[in-house]
Amino acid sequence: MRKVMTRPRPRPTASRPPAGRPPTRRDSRRPTDRRPLTVPAQPPPHPTEVFAERLLLVLSGQRPLHWAARHIANTAYDDLARLAELSPLRTGGHRPTIHRIGHYQPHPEAYEVFARVATGPRLRALAFRLVLGADRKWRCTAVETDPKRH
């Protein structure tokens, strides 16, 4: 049996696929248009959320007290040092998480914040006050946890 080979017909240059890929194959991982993907910008987190996370990490023993020292003012540092020694949010094997954060704004430059913190199967309370300083940075001026364990 003889094989007969025919010459391929020349294709028009405009419809020619890019070199290195078969003409009928499409890469599903690549977008069809070549425009760069833009992700909408997320708004920055509220200061109450940032400070609640910081206090949670210190009070659960995941971070040392000096890690948050520049964000804490006056007697709140002493209160937080006393609370951190007691480790009120430390649990045996569970990592504490913030369930809910709420705040009240008694003044345009102050927040009274409360948070529910889950430590394993238990819910604990965390309250703190934020004040906007003269340098326009938020500082924690008071910290409290529920008095059950201390």
pLDDT in tens, 46-70: 899 999 999 999 888 888 888 988 8
For residues 36 and 117, the model is more confident at 117
CA atoms of 54 and 64, how far apart (whole Å):
10
Answer yes or no: is pLDDT of 89 > 90.
no
Instruction: Match 């991982």 to its residue by tokens.
Output: 29
- Beta carbons within 8 Å of 11's beta carbon, 6+ residues apart: none
DSSP assignment letter at 87: -
Mean pLDDT estimate for the chain? 81
CB 74 within 8 A of CB 66: no
pLDDT above 70: percentage of residues in the chain = 73
CB 126 within 8 A of CB 59: yes
Of the candidates 106, 113, 119, 104, the one whose C-alpha atom is nearest the C-alpha of residue 149 is: 119
CA atoms of 64 and 60, how far apart (whole Å):
10
Instruction: Give the three-state DSSP class for 25.
Output: coil
Q: What is the pLDDT of residue 137?
A: 92
Q: Tell me the residue length of the chain.
A: 150
Q: Which tens digit of pLDDT belongs to each residue from 6-32?
A: 555 555 555 555 666 666 666 677 666
